[in-house]
Amino acid sequence: MIKLGVNIDHVATVRNARGEQHPSPYLAAIKAISSGANSITIHLREDRRHINDNDLKIISSNKKIPLNLEMAATLQMLKIALKYKPNYVCIVPEKRQEITTEGGLNLDAKNKKLASIVQKLNQSNIRTSLFINPSIKDIKLAKIIGTKCIEIHTGKIANLVKNKKNYKKELDNIKKCSMLAESLNLEVHAGHGLDYRTTKILRKISQIKEYNIGHFIIGESIQFGLRNVIKTFKNILRNK
């Protein structure tokens, strides 16, 4: 089965715009799982711009929600992960100024800190993943670092598809990387910028076993949900 992880960061973005409780990332997580999502992804950023510590606490306490925590490779985040024990951790690069995660990790075999964080998570039975660019060199380094999974950053192909440019070369590159990763016994995931069209295109790559999708799902849910919410208000206004 190909799995769908739903990233609910932007439910928190909308909530934080008012500093109140609505909409609730926790309720969104429950709704996503009951609708067939295989896991929930939240990115606890160092600046807490969307998901906050309380969201992590509440969501991780419900063991019926398979939880994937995205985090930077810092000792502070490792401590938080070991405390709340999400099912999965995906380590991502983080820059304060960026609007979203712009690229994969900058892997370096000499970076002992990353390997040590991955090792500690593995020892705690938290499935580890590294968010990387589709690069043969990075797949080999990811294996050396000891992760169980890799998540391929799909931002480049997503942009090519959205801008109606030729994406074949990038698709071939992702395919080659996915095949190498599978041969090294790394589970292959994909994420970033995915919509219906890009996901359909990537589905041709049988090695990709999990898709993590956020912004498009939340945006599309707003567009789809508007009708029902407006109908509810019209009913309220009709009845005194």
Catalytically annotated residues: 43, 70, 192
Binders of ligand PXP among 155-194, rule CB under 6 A? 191-194
Binders of ligand PXP among 39-58, rule CB under 6 A? 43
* 152 vs 171 by CB, closer to ligand PXP: 152
Contacting residues for 179 by C-beta, under 8 A, at least 6 apart = 207
- The tokens of 1 are what? 């089965």
Binders of ligand PXP among 120-159, rule CB under 6 A? 131, 151
Quote the CA–CA distance of 42 and 90 in Å, as a whole number.
10
**CA torsion, points 11, 17, 23, 29, in degrees to nearest 10?**
20
* 90 vs 181 by CB, closer to ligand PXP: 90
> What distances in angstroms separate CA 17 from CA 14, 42, 50, 70, 218, one per listed residue?
5, 18, 9, 22, 15
Gyration radius from the chain CA atoms: 18
Residue choice 6, 29, 40, 70 for contact with ligand PXP (CB under 6 A):
70
CB of 182 to ligand PXP, least distance (A): 19
Binding-residue pattern over the window 82 to 111 for ligand PXP, x denoting contact by CB under 6 A: --------x-x-------xx----------
Residue choice 6, 7, 132, 142 for contact with ligand PXP (CB under 6 A):
7
**Residues touching ligand PXP, count (CB under 6 A):** 18
* 151 vs 187 by CB, closer to ligand PXP: 151
CB of 230 to ligand PXP, least distance (A): 26
In what helix (H) or strand (E) does residue 174 lie, and over which residues does it extend? Answer: helix 168-183
CB of 218 to ligand PXP, least distance (A): 8
* 95 vs 231 by CB, closer to ligand PXP: 95
* Residue 61 burial class via C-beta count within 10 angstroms: exposed 0-12, middle 13-18, buried 19 and up: exposed
* Residue 237 burial class via C-beta count within 10 angstroms: exposed 0-12, middle 13-18, buried 19 and up: exposed
Helix 112-123 vs helix 136-145: crossing angle, to nearest 10: 60
- The tokens of 70 are what? 């995205």
* 15 vs 43 by CB, closer to ligand PXP: 43
CB of 149 to ligand PXP, least distance (A): 11
Q: Does 216 bind ligand PXP (CB under 6 A)?
A: yes
> Which residues lie near ligand PXP (CB under 6 A)?
7, 43, 70, 90, 92, 100-101, 131, 151, 191-194, 212-216
